[in-house]
Amino acid sequence: MDVRKKRFALASAYFLLGAGTVVFTLVRWTPKPGTDWVIVGLFALAFAALSFRSVEVNDRMLASSSAMVIATASTYFAIHTKATPQGFIEFDAVTVVVLIAAVGPLDILDFRGRRVFQPASNFGLLVVSAFAAGLVADTLLDGRGAQETGDFVYVAAVGALVGLVYNLVNISLVRFGVRIAYGSRNILPWSGLWMLFGSQILMGLLGGMLGAVFEFASNESLLLLILVVYVLGHTVFTSYSVLRVAHESTLRGFAKTLETRDLYTRGHTERVAYFSQLIGQELGFAGTQLEHMRWASLIHDMGKLAIPIELMRKQGTLTDDEYRRLRTATHTVDDLLSEVDFLRPMVDVCSGAHPRQPEEDFGQTGHHHTTTPTLEQKVLAVADAFDAMTSVRGYRMAMSQRAALDALREDTSPLYDDEVLAALEAALDKVGETYGPPQLASSVIQEDVVSRG
């Protein structure tokens, strides 16, 4: 099934789920005089504005601080409309937050662009998450109208729980959707996800506290400050996204530099990144480690930038002098890359992943040559060598996958570790890909579609 069909099925399923939830909520609900529709409208506006401005925090994963609005609204309305306790669960907070969430995905740009899938599935996602969140608030805050400090703590805790539930439901649905629609192997790893999740929970807590204060203090002025805090929450996600884009941009810039210099290695870096990611996943790397693997692969050839082109294109063996020039150039670029703070650990991985002659002296350049390479260095070395062997170079034909793996196994260098090689083979089996002849199409085309789903 192609991506389009999958996305269609997914969007329809989510939409129907959401529509069902809205209908169920409205049928179940009897309007009460305590509901202040102006405030509902304000919250809905804030929610829509925040979801509209949601930022892509990771590959195809959008986040926004709208959970704060849900937490505030559900705590506030769960208490506010229940001046007289009723005894059973009233759908007060549920109705309000479901209504708020239902108008959230209405986005003028989507209408203009005639996009249907994303708004439809977003609608379902948000409504279902809001329903779960509102249910928590209604259940736990039933019949509470007293204005005591002890109540504030309880209400704030419920707010945090509301935020947690909302985010858990939302994130699991999104992750499930992305997995179904795109498959997991095209998703770029990112180390910041857990921190992001932590922020979401804290924002739920803050949102709940705001709802409780707004109810207890009954001072309209708080609305203005609450809105400012929402904007601040938005800033948090934007900052994550900005930092991630900064890192990605840096890597892309360096990769492009390399490509401009030498069209010959075009695609090599990306394939090495892909192979090292495959190996990493097979070896059980996660988050940060996978991300570092990818970054290291993207910069592992940067040393070439300082090598005079006549040396790079030279066929046959290099003289000693030429070899020394080549080494110095590589290390100069390593030093240069180390000036970028976040690349420093990756440069260490790269500089250890190049196979070396035993007699080489690294004492003067300040680079430590450890005799036992780290696991990351081994992974990168294997990915690099494997791609070099299975693709066509100016001076030789490409080797078949089997021949390349066998040759690497026979190599005595500690870099070509058997465990890592086995992981590569297993991973390639799993994704059903073979490199080198007879399949000449060895480049992996990574789909570069970013969806707001």
Partner 1 sequence: MADLKTIRGWSWIVSALIPLGATAAVVGFVETDDELAWMAVAAVAFGVASLSVVPSAGRGRFTAGYLVVASVPFVSTSDGDRLFTTREILLALAAGSAITWIMRAARSDDQKMVLADFFKRSLSYGSFIAAFAVGDTSLKFDQVVGWHDALLFVLAASAGFVGEMATSAAFRSRVGGGGPRLFVVLDTARDLNVYLSLVAAGALFGIAFETIGWWSLLLAALPYAFAHGAFRRYADARQTYSQTVRSLARIPEVAGHSDPGHAARTADLAVGVAAELGLRPRDVDTVEYAALLHDIGRISLNEPSVLRMGFTDTDIARWGSEIVGETSYLAEVSDVVLRQHEPYRNPGMESSEDVPIAAKIVKVCSAYDESTHELGSSPLESMEKLHRGSVYDYDPEVVAVLRRLLERRGAFDRSVSRR
Two tokens, residue 268: 């090599």
Cβ 163 to partner 1 shortest distance, Å: 12
Amino acid (1-letter code) at residue 168:
L
Q: Choose between 180 and 236: whose C-beta lies nearer to partner 1.
A: 236
Asked if 264 touches partner 1 (CB under 8 A), the answer is no
Q: What residues pair up with 63 in beta bridges, in sequence order? A: 55
Asked if 8 touches partner 1 (CB under 8 A), the answer is no
Burial 194-211 (b: 16+ CB within 10 A, else e): eebeebbbebbbbbbbbb
| Count, residues in the chain | 453
Asked if 333 touches partner 1 (CB under 8 A), the answer is yes
Query: What angle, rounded to 10 degrees, do the helices at 149-182 and 66-80 form?
Result: 140
Query: Which of the 8 DSSP states describes residue 83?
Result: S
Q: Choose between 19 and 336: whose C-beta lies nearer to partner 1.
A: 336
Cβ 206 to partner 1 shortest distance, Å: 5
Q: Choose between 11 and 293: whose C-beta lies nearer to partner 1.
A: 293
Cα 128–chain centre separation = 22
Q: Of 254-262, 361-369, 388-396, 409-417, which segment contacts partner 1 by CB under 8 A?
A: 254-262
Cβ 171 to partner 1 shortest distance, Å: 19
Asked if 345 touches partner 1 (CB under 8 A), the answer is yes
Beta strand 61-63 pairing with 55-58: antiparallel
Q: Give the residue, chosen from 286, 309, 392, 426, that forms a contact with partner 1 under the rule CB under 8 A.
A: 309
Asked if 286 touches partner 1 (CB under 8 A), the answer is no
Question: What is the Cα gyration radius of the chain?
Answer: 28
Two tokens, residue 4: 């389009």
Spatial contact of 68 and 87, defined as CB atoms under 8 Å apart: no
Q: Choose between 237 and 285: whose C-beta lies nearer to partner 1.
A: 237
User: Cα dist. 262→173, 255, 310 in Å?
Assistant: 43, 11, 12
Q: In the range 287-306, which residues lie near partner 1 by CB under 8 A?
A: 305-306
Per-residue mark of binding to partner 1, 211-240 (x: CB under 8 A) = -xx--xx-xxxxxxx--xx--xx-xx-xxx
Helix segments in 300-438, DSSP class H: 309-312, 320-338, 344-352, 375-390, 401-410, 418-431
How many distinct helices (H) and strands (E) make up the chain?
Answer: 17, 2
Task: Outline where DSSP puts E strands in 115-154.
Answer: none
Q: Choose between 79 and 135: whose C-beta lies nearer to partner 1.
A: 79
Per-residue mark of binding to partner 1, 191-210 (x: CB under 8 A) = --------x--xx-xx--xx
Asked if 392 touches partner 1 (CB under 8 A), the answer is no
Nearest residue to 14 via CA among 160, 164, 180: 180
Nearest residue to 216 via CA among 81, 76, 92: 76
For 394, phi then psi, to 5°, come to: -60, -30
Q: Of 96-104, 281-289, 341-349, 403-411, which segment contacts partner 1 by CB under 8 A?
A: 341-349
Q: Give the residue, chosen from 111, 194, 342, 362, that forms a contact with partner 1 under the rule CB under 8 A.
A: 342
Asked if 256 touches partner 1 (CB under 8 A), the answer is yes
Nearest residue to 364 via CA among 340, 322, 341, 332: 332
Q: Of 10-18, 30-38, 177-185, 337-345, which segment contacts partner 1 by CB under 8 A?
A: 337-345
Q: In the range 97-156, which residues lie near partner 1 by CB under 8 A?
A: 147, 149, 152-153, 156
Q: Choose between 17 and 202: whose C-beta lies nearer to partner 1.
A: 202
Q: Give the residue, chosen from 320, 341, 359, 418, that forms a contact with partner 1 under the rule CB under 8 A.
A: 341
Two tokens, residue 408: 């690497």
Where does this chain bind partner 1 (CB under 8 A)?
A: 147, 149, 152-153, 156, 199, 202-203, 205-206, 209-210, 212-213, 216-217, 219-225, 228-229, 232-233, 235-236, 238-240, 242-243, 245-247, 249-250, 252-257, 260-261, 305-310, 329, 332-333, 336-337, 339-342, 344-345
